[in-house]
Structure 1
Amino acid sequence: MVSGVQIHSKLADKAQSIVLTDDALAFLAALHRTFESTRQSLLVAREEAQRRWDSGAPFDFNPETANIRSEPSWHCAPPAPGLEDRRVEITGPTDRKMVVNALNSGAKTFMADFEDSSSPTFTNLVSGQVNLRDAIRREIDFEAGGKSYKLSEKPAVLIVRPRGWHLDEPRLTIDNAPFSGSLFDFGLYFYHNAKELVKRGSGPYFYLPKMEHYLEARLWNDVFNFSQSYIGMSHGTIRATVLIETLPAVFNMEEILFELRTHSSGLNCGRWDYIFSFIKKRRADRSAVLPDRKDVTMTVPFMDSYVRLLIQTCHRRKVAAMGGMAAQIPIKDDPKANDAVMEKVRQDKLREVLAGHDGTWIAHPLINKIALEVFNEHMLGPNQYHIRREDVKVAAADLLSSRVPGKITDEGVRSNISTSLAYTSAWIGGNGCIPLNYLMEDAATAEITRVQLWQWVKYNSRLDSGQYVTAEYVEKLIDEVAPGVKGIFAGVKEENLKIAVEYLKGQIKREWPSEFLTSDLMGHLAIADGVEAKWQKSAL
């Protein structure tokens, strides 16, 4: 046992004994004692910033850091081994089957996700760490259901996404305080695997989610330097790609790269979370009301401006500008419908490569062929850093434009409700990534559905039929839609669906939407894991 460290879970098993060793816990304790006060101060700063925006303060580029943006001479680190060519990246949770299939998919990299596509039960988190450890050491082969799963000779390069700064890990306390979910995921993976990865010609590579300010990137950089020193590794060995998936972060892109410049491997267009953040951060702005989710595409003005500015920023600093997720999955029983969906994927990837992106994301191995063909045809080298996009001129107003063609429809409201209920129910049950209507839905897409419903009720929006979107109208539709949720996703349990219904009904009537459904509902996972009440945040 490590002094001051307690594990609050009844789920002690072999996987836990492999990764939650005394020396690893001592490292986590060192991270906590060094950085927890800074993390908490940055979370308070987020709340203070939101109050300013609610009061009418504008979103804009920070005049105090104008010198960083205007200085042309600084660049980020050159690509690390295995990250020179990232034309197709596959993402998904860290269960054993997914890890093998993703590493064997033919994609250049695999982002193993402890965040939006994972439900953070303690079993999922700890077994996920074991699976990644075994994959790195080529000890992951197994058999299940009469099928053999064996790692290929040349698997994809592994990148790990830890949870965001806002999430606590209630199953582990240090000095009587919950540990950071971010540092739990990062710390265990780094401590057990960093040296082994370098020995095998790669390195400890990460995707960093949900940041809102460059000081949050500075905290990650400090964590990286501390961690490398702790195990005796050269500084700069770690590499991190930052997901630009919050509205405040798009005004901090140059500064985020600057803070991480010795560890940076680029930025990514986290398109779904970005839409969620656009609504949530502008919650007090009636002019920011958006139409049905399906109409908020990458070609609408505020999304197009965000993409063009990100590519310009990355290539100016000589790092990768990664494209967004193709959430579509193949339709096996309808060739005609499948062809139409796959053509949408092809056009989306064509848009990205022609805009100057250096790679893109997919969620299903069968999409790899399409994405790879598009990037192979139009990106002849390993990347497109040479495409500087000096033609791009993006002002704050361009990033805030709410001119989005489309309508709010009864179908859109119902679709949001069914997605929200199905995903929330699945997440509480331990599944963070579910197929719905031939789309792979994760926490980001579920968050859009939640805050859109809130926004439409808050501002008494009107449907194309003339019907006002009131709390009573949405509650009525929730009651109508809920019984059919099991029909669209068979893994839903009745008790979890009931929690999801009550949660969504509560959300649409709040003055302001909750920051994250994952924070709100973490208490349910903690209870299931056997965590005592005093360590739980209230399960809403």
Structure 2
Amino acid sequence: MHGMSSPVAILGSRTPSQSDVLTPEALQFVADLTRAFRGRIDALLARRRERSARFLAGERPDFLEETAELRNDDWSVAAIPDDIQDRRVEITGPVDRKMIINALNSGANVFMADFEDATSPTFANLVEGQKNLADAARGSIGYVDPTSGKSYTLGERTAVLFVRPRGLHLPERHVLVDGEPVPGSLFDFGLYFFHNARALVERGKRPYFYLPKLESHLEARLWNDVFLRAQAELDLPPGTIRATVLVETLPAAFEMDEILYELREHSAGLNCGRWDYIFSFIKKLGADPAFILPDRGLITMDRPFLKAYTDLVVKTCHRRGAHAMGGMAAQIPIKGDEERSRAALDKVRADKLREVHAGHDGTWVAHPGLVPIARAMFDAHMDGPNQLHVKREDVDVHAGDLLRVPDGPRTEAGLRHNIKVGILYIEAWLRGVGCVPLYDLMEDAATAEICRAQVWQWQHHGVSVEGAPLDPKRLVRTIEETMEELAKERGAEAFAHGRFDEARELFTTLATSDELEEFLTLPAYERLLALSSTSAGDTKKAPEAAA
């Protein structure tokens, strides 16, 4: 399209649906987006690194002076489409075929299919996930369990489908354009949009997205330009796409108005991605001993710095006519233990009651069993399809409110739990599984990020954990002891056939490094590629996709 003649190269073992998904036309569409935006993505990632370096040097996040006029002006995002006026319960999960069907049938208003934190980016997972979503977008998806023979089909009423592509920082090394990896975000977005946008529109629906890990309004501007170009390529009008942005980084909390403004024609509101938000808080400020957090289990949403963040999301969104979505309930029903199950579900009820009273328009759950519980809380306390009328003019959030560090102890039990969850999740991810039930919660990459970042922070500063400093020697010893506990919990066979040694090695490296690694999924991805059958000898060319 732009005079480039180098073909797209596909690396990796062939997957069953590859010919359906990676068609020459689809690859050309992805290549066009890549050539148009890869340079801007690289520049924005460099800008992130520069900003992080300034935080490391002592600068603190603040609201932008240059956009104060925009924040003070009256403007609104585009009107909310009819089919997502009511989003009171949203369920999220990976792009596995059976899980997609169960989520769409769950009774939730929205299902967010997740290529990002809930999917390990093996080539097969990504390509088969695209095929599964293409079938879901057409209402034709079905599945027969090869073990049980049970058949899964879509019910009469299904959730509205949203798709979350990977963040801007993640590459897709299985596909090269002009010799360089495609940005994972453009690969996931481009393939889904190319194959399904028109089919959705013809069925009276739209292509809906969730955008993860944004750190600035300039990144929102990039996505808006991607949307404009993609729509023009398929002769769809601007505004066909709608996207909800996850406010899950500390810098983004200071640019909510600006992010909504950049995406105003394509906006479907903001969401409180709270687990990644806590991780980002540690990542951006954790090198300063003044910002050391207590045990992860004590960092609850009623803590002032998190309450300020979620209240500001509601106030900002409702002022602009946009949805303000609440956060995740990761609990899963506990079979065979009524008391523990009741306690877990009571936590869900309390969390959802807090959200609906705060003015949120809906909330997230990770398991179909939680849909009725979340729905009951919103049904009882939310009149109408949403709460856009709740303006929260009582909210007055300043920079210091978003940076207030919660108090609380740092315990041996908290340390060991972080190590266990972190290693168990990384082990599953290296096996190609991105959504994992651990200790009665459904965990994804965001939890593992908090775990390893908090362990790094405590070790980096040598904080006192129950009366003794956590130095590297003590940490390594604790990791080894924790591995012995995990071996007993999981059994010798699981350890023999798993990736536990690689997971422990990676977790230890991340937790004891001089500087905090930006994302664990970046070094983990290199190991995932090394563990796969991908090699240069598997390269297949797609000359038809040359642009």
Residue matched to 1:468: 469
For structure 1, which segment, 508-517 or 326-335, has the greater mean C-alpha deviation from structure 2 after superposition? 508-517
Q: 1:54 aligns with which of 34, 53, 56?
A: 56
Aligned to 1:130: 131
In the alignment, structure 1 residue 429 sits paired with structure 2 residue 431 = yes
Cα deviation, residue 316, structure 1:
0.4
| 2:310 aligned to which of 307, 311, 318 | 307
Residues 110 and 157, structure 1, Cα contact 8 Å, conserved in 2: yes
Distance 1:133 1:50 in 2: 38
* 1:290-301 superposed matches below 5 A: 290-301=293-304
1:162-201 equivalences under 5 Å are 162-201=165-204
TM-aligned CA distance change 1:421 to 1:481, over 3 Å: same
Match of 2:542 in 1: none
Secondary structure of 2:84 counterpart: coil
1:154 maps to which residue?
157
Distance 1:395 1:375, change over 3 A: same
SS in 2 for 1:210: coil
2:334 equivalent among 321, 331, 334: 331
Which residue does the alignment assign to 2:257?
254
| RMSD (Å) for aligned C-alpha atoms | 1.7
Residue 504 of structure 1 and its aligned partner are, at CA, apart by 1.7
Write the distance in 2 (CA, Å) between the matches of 1:188 and 1:81. 26
1:20 is matched with: 22
Equivalents in 2 of 1:35, 1:535: separation in Å?
27
Native 8 Å contact 1:326 1:362 kept in 2: yes
After TM superposition, give the deviation of residue 501 of structure 1 in Å.
1.1
Structure 1 residue 179: Cα displacement? 0.4
State the match for 1:418 in structure 2.
420
Aligned to 2:486: 485
Q: Per the alignment, in what secondary structure is the counterpart of residue 86 of structure 2?
A: coil
Is 1:276–1:448's contact at 8 Å kept on the other side of the alignment? Answer: yes
* Counterpart for residue 374 of structure 1: 377
Q: SS where residue 83 of structure 2 aligns?
A: coil
SS of structure 2 residue aligned to 1:82:
helix
Q: CA offset at residue 488 of structure 1?
A: 5.0
Larger CA deviation: 161-170 vs 501-510: 501-510
User: 1:502 aligned to 2:499?
Assistant: no
Residue type at the aligned position of 1:82: D
Name the counterpart of 1:98. Answer: 99
Q: Which residue in the other structure is 1:520 paired with?
A: 523
Give the whole-Å Cα distance in 1 for the aligned partners of 2:262 and 2:182: 24
Q: 1:362 to 1:518 in 2, by over 3 A?
A: same
Q: Which moved more, 1:312-321 or 1:279-288?
A: 279-288
Alpha-carbon distance, 1:521 to partner: 1.2
Match of 1:37 in 2: 39
Structure 1 pair 88–128 and aligned structure 2 pair: CA distance change class (3 A): same
Other-structure match for 2:345 = 342
Q: Which amino acid aligns with 1:50?
A: S
Q: Deviations over 1:307-335 (max 9, x none)?
A: 00010000000010000000000011111
How big is each residue's C-alpha offset from its partner over 1:445-481, in whole Å with a ceiling of 9 and x where there is no partner?
Answer: 0000000000001111112x30211111111111111
One-letter code aligned to 1:194: A
Q: Is the 8 A contact 1:429 1:493 kept in 2?
A: no
Q: What's the TM-score, normalizing by structure 1?
A: 0.96
Q: Is the 8 A contact 2:15 2:124 kept in 1?
A: no
- Counterpart of 2:544 in structure 1 is none
Please state how far the C-alpha of 1:79 moved relative to its aligned partner: 1.1
Shift of residue 500, structure 1, vs aligned partner? 1.3
Partner residue in 2 for 1:117: 118
- Tell me, yes or no, if the aligned pair for 1:9 and 1:529 is still in contact at 8 Å: no
How far off its partner does 1:435 sit?
0.6
Partner of 1:267: 270
Alignment partner, residue 287 of structure 1: 290
CA contact (8 A) 2:108 2:159 kept: yes
Which secondary structure does the structure 1 equivalent of 2:92 belong to?
Answer: strand
The corresponding residue for 1:244 is 247
When the two structures are aligned, how many residues end up with a matched partner?
A: 532
Deviation at 1:532, TM superposition (A): 3.7
Check whether the contact 1:160–1:206 (CA below 8 A) recurs between aligned residues: yes
Unaligned runs of 5+ in 2: 540-547
Deviations along 1:76-99, one digit per CA (max 9) or x if unpaired, are 011124211000000000100100
Change (3 A) 1:393 1:533: farther
User: Equivalents in 2 of 1:229, 1:206: separation in Å?
Assistant: 17
Rate the CA distance shift 1:53–1:534 in 2: closer, same or farther, 3 A: farther
Matched, 1:108 2:101: no
Tell me the equivalent position of 2:223.
Answer: 220
Would you say the 8 A contact 2:12–2:123 is kept in 1? no
Deviation, 1:486, is 5.0
Shift of the 486–120 alpha-carbon distance from structure 1 to 2, 3 Å rule, reads farther
> How far did 1:530 drift?
3.5
C-alpha distance in 1, partners of 2:472/2:536?
32
SS in 1 for 2:144: strand
Letter in 2 for 1:42: L
2:416 aligned counterpart, secondary structure: helix
Q: Is the Cα–Cα contact under 8 Å of residues 276 and 447 in structure 2 kept in the other structure?
A: yes
Secondary structure, aligned partner of 1:324: strand
Aligned to 2:271, the other structure's residue is in SS state: strand
Shift of 1:482: 1.2
Query: For 1:246 and 1:534, how far apart are their aligned partners in 2?
Result: 39
Partners in 2 of 1:174 and 1:492 — Cα distance? Answer: 39
Q: Distance in 1 between matches of 2:255 and 2:495?
A: 39
TM-score (norm 2): 0.95
Match of residue 449 from structure 1: 451
Contact 2:212 2:248 in 1 (8 A): yes
Q: Deviations over 1:394-452 (max 9, x none)?
A: 000000000x2421110001000000110001001100111111011110000000000
Q: CA deviation at 1:139?
A: 2.1
Cα drift, residue 520 of structure 1: 1.1
Taking a change above 3 Å as real, the CA distance of residues 16 and 534 of structure 1, as seen in their structure-2 partners, is: closer
Deviation per residue, 1:477-499 (Å, 9 max, x gap) = 11111133355567666562111
